[in-house]
Amino acid sequence: MSLRSLDFVFVAIFFVSAAASDTPAETRRTCTTPEAKQARLEAGRLQDWQSIYGSFKRFGGCDHGKVGEEYSYAVSRLLAHDWEHVDVLLQLAAKDREFKQFVLQHVDENFPEEEAQLIIRNSRQRCPIGGEWLCRAIVDY
């Protein structure tokens, strides 16, 4: 393969990778230091899917490091202790693919073990219609 062909392959791989990125657009924008501080404070207090969605819309660019961990804890709390309202999550995710990706990114190792067991049980025993994508992601993790 010629050098010119290799250059074309690398450029093609770069564009395909960028287009297929799982990173929501909100997380690709920059996050200022004050926004990161506000996002971390807010993420620790999120109590329902609407508040997580609002925080995601405001501070999605700050979703890394400690802020990302706080979002993971918020997602795990709701999936473990507020499964009755998972339909709200499903409705928001159906309208906003980036939010769906955000939630899926936070089904991760930051879940406390006790909550992880509750979440897996909820996913296996109480998976709602239309929530198969979520239950599958949880159980397969």
Query: What's the token pair of residue 115?
Result: 């909550």
Residue 119 lies in a domain: yes
Domain count, the chain: 1
Residue 19 lies in a domain: no
Residue 106 lies in a domain: yes
| pLDDT tens per residue, range 36-65 | 999 999 999 999 999 999 999 999 999 999
- Higher-scoring residue by pLDDT: 9, 43: 43
Residue 114 lies in a domain: yes
Residue 4 lies in a domain: no
Residue 63 lies in a domain: yes
Residue 141 has pLDDT above 90, yes or no: no
What integer best gives the mean pLDDT of the chain?
A: 82
Q: Where are the alpha helices (DSSP H) in 1-141?
A: 3-19, 25-28, 33-43, 49-59, 65-81, 86-95, 97-105, 113-125, 132-140
Range of the domain at 121: 32-140
Range of weakest confidence among 27-31, 36-40, 105-109, 127-131: 27-31
